[in-house]
């Protein structure tokens, strides 16, 4: 799996980012929320929510590490 993936979209065109949940050692996706100010998602194993804000304090990173 490449760590340099850039902005991708699903088949329906919804933007998402890849995220790695280190505690559960699994991968998931963060989807752009309706306000388009953050990518949000939750760990597929334990269900803990995680979000990445977009904007001045946001990040250009396209691969995130989450502790869940």
* CA 8 remoteness from chain centre: 11
> What is the signed CA dihedral for 49, 54, 59, 63, rounded to 10 degrees?
40
| Closest distance to Zn ion from the beta carbon of 45 (Å) | 5
In the complex with Zn ion, which residue's Cβ is closer, 27 or 36? 27
| Closest distance to Zn ion from the beta carbon of 31 (Å) | 17
In the complex with Zn ion, which residue's Cβ is closer, 36 or 45? 45
| CA atoms within 13 A of residue 6's CA, in its CB half-sphere | 0
| Closest distance to Zn ion from the beta carbon of 34 (Å) | 24
């Amino acid at each position: 799996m490449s760590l340099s993936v850039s902005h991708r979209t699903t088949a329906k065109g919804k933007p998402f980012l890849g995220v790695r949940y280190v505690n559960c050692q699994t991968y998931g996706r963060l989807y752009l929320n309706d306000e388009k100010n953050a990518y949000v998602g939750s760990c597929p194993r334990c269900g803990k929510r995680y979000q990445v804000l977009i904007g001045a304090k946001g990040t250009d990173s396209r691969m995130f590490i989450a502790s869940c």
